[in-house]
Structure 1
């Protein structure tokens, strides 16, 4: 696990976009895992700018989103498929139908989850997965207590997650759905490269557990300690609880320029 502490979201966006650009250069038909939420927005803005400038193209790439609320109407602005279209997909040159998400309106939820897993496998798997992290350590919507080997399935959101997400629903927690579909921790672990972004002091404890704590289902993101290629991109607020923060800074400044992330 590589921990990179940077001054702000804009520089985090640049570093993550460099990784995506390098991936697309060597594999134009790359498969990307796309997270919603506020943490990845700087990454998407930077990728849009590079696509507009002609530096990169997504025309041969594919994408899979992490999760989806259950029961939100297709036209709801906070449906994650709508959100990712708005903040990223519609702003670049993905071919029509090449970005998919779990079907939160499916009549047969278990079948829809199995089909989603099969669709990811059929592409050869995700090359680079973008992640955020919740204040309780969840990734995707794998809440504390999630199986470390889990696959795409329905989950009940914790009260804390619904409170955290209420800002997208007019600050009314009762409007936040109770259930979601999410890629499982086992699904996320199958990605070849994971890029996790955390911003702000509210994420500091979750980041501390992720990087320096024991692997535990109580902090689901800690399973990433077992992944062979994880990059954790942090601002100073999110890094404030790290005991080895100075070492992580020194390591990043000293790494070979050719190595990338």
Structure 2
């Protein structure tokens, strides 16, 4: 595990953006990258988009979402896809043929599909204050799971209801690449900012592997880079 502590969000955005751009330029053949939605990567995508847009050097890059919250409205593309389009895919003018949408219809084929195109070269991950990553929340997936459908009822349904203004659209499941699928990627880059992530980062960096803290499994990956600001690293650095 490589740990990089930055002073602020701007440093994180630029460092992460340059790391991803460098990876995208590292091969002339196909590059496969899974990217995250959420609030943390917004600045990363703002940094990357104008550098990617209209640049033929990046036409070999294919993108994947690693989780999706659908809707009871079949015409709605999904929370993750909507956010990725707004934050990165549209500003960077990524061709639709180069974004591969994981959803409730194709998730059972996801892992074999990724293997067939050479695997994921990298995944950009965030981390929740409860130590979740992707859609792997505490108590929802097992470490040996590949891409799965997670039933969302009761408290789990409440967790995703905040993504919807109209509560009648809240689904009773979400889709996520499980721990086994994530660990199969060649490189993992995890980013975190803010003191609310400090406990989760401590469990990732210093704690034991524990299914109560889902992201703790990521420390076993052979090529994990953690980029976090000082506030997120405060427990680790005590």
Give the SS at the match of 1:62. strand
Cα displacement (A) at 1:156: 3.5
Structure-to-structure mapping, 1:143-222, within 5 angstroms? 143-145=137-139, 146-157=141-152, 168-170=163-165, 176-222=170-216
Report Cα offsets for 1:185-228 as digits up to 9, x if no partner. 01110111111111112111111111110001111111111101
Instruction: Indicate the residue corresponding to 1:129 in structure 2.
Output: 123
Match of 2:63 in 1: 63
Q: 1:27 Cα shift?
A: 1.3
Q: 2:193 and 2:90 mapped to 1: Cα distance? A: 25
TM-score, normalised with respect to structure 1: 0.80
The match for 1:45 is: 46
In the alignment, the residues of structure 2 paired with residue 2 and residue 180 of structure 1 have an alpha-carbon distance, to the nearest angstrom, of: 31
Given that residues 72 and 169 in structure 2 are in contact (C-alpha distance below 8 angstroms), is that contact kept between their aligned partners in structure 1? no
- In structure 2, C-alpha distance between the alignment counterparts of 1:30 and 1:75, rounded to whole Å: 30
Equivalent residue in structure 1 for 2:222, among 228, 237, 244 = 228
Q: 1:230 to 1:177 in 2, by over 3 A?
A: same
Structure 2 residues without counterparts, runs of 5 or longer: none
**Does 2:223 correspond to 1:241?**
no
Q: Give, in whole Å, the separation in 1 of the partners of 2:25 and 2:214.
A: 32
Residue 156 to residue 133, structure 1, CA distance change in 2 (3 Å): farther
Helix, strand or coil at the partner of 1:223 = helix
SS of aligned partner of 1:92: coil
Q: Once the two structures are superposed, what CA deviation does each residue of 1:169-190 show, in whole Å capped at 9, x if it has no partner?
A: 35x8886544210001011101
Contact 1:58 1:93 in 2 (8 A): no
Q: How far off its partner does 1:139 sit? A: 0.9
Q: What are the within-5 Å matches in structure 2 for residues 3-22 of structure 1?
A: 3-22=3-22
Distance change in 2, residues 1:96/1:33 (3 Å): same
| Alignment: residue pair count | 236
1:136 to 1:66, Cα distance in 2 relative to 1, 3 A: same
Structure 1 unaligned spans of 5+: 107-111, 245-261
Work out the CA distance in 1 between the residues paired with 2:188 and 2:164. 29
TM-score w.r.t. the length of structure 2 is: 0.88
d(CA) in 2 for partners of 1:46, 1:213: 33
Distance 2:123 2:223 in 1: 11
Q: Supply the distance in 2 between the matched residues of 1:72 and 1:165 (Cα, whole angstroms).
A: 13
Partner Cα separation in structure 2 for residue 233 and residue 157 of structure 1: 31
Q: CA deviation at 1:236?
A: 2.0
